């Protein structure tokens, strides 16, 4: 077995979270006019949660390679 540094897994999880966000945003963007303002608010909340998590990790210096 090859042992990898934990940072590889951490960056993979960040990539996975952002990739899932893009997968959910694409169909929403295609049907934006049909879905209405309630879906717009819901997507803003999801993006805000992801952004807050990213800013929190950045402030805690969790994204720096040690």
- Reported pTM: 0.71
- For the stretch 11-56, pLDDT in tens is 888 899 889 989 989 988 899 889 888 989 999 999 999 899 889 9
Mean pLDDT of 3-15: 82
From the number of C-beta atoms within 10 Å of its C-beta (0-12, 13-18, 19+), residue 54 rates as middle
The kind and range of the H/E element at 28 are helix 6-30
Question: Given this model, what pLDDT does residue 41 score?
Answer: 93
pLDDT at 32: 85
Beta strands in the chain (DSSP E): none
What is the predicted pLDDT for the residue at 9? 83
Q: Residue 45's pLDDT is what?
A: 94
């Amino acid at each position: 077995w090859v042992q990898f540094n934990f940072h590889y897994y951490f960056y993979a999880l960040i990539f996975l979270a952002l990739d899932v966000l893009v997968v959910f945003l694409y169909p929403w963007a295609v049907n934006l006019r049909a879905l209405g303002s309630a879906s717009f608010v819901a997507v803003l909340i999801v993006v805000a949660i992801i952004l807050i998590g990213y800013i929190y990790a950045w402030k805690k210096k969790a994204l720096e390679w040690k």
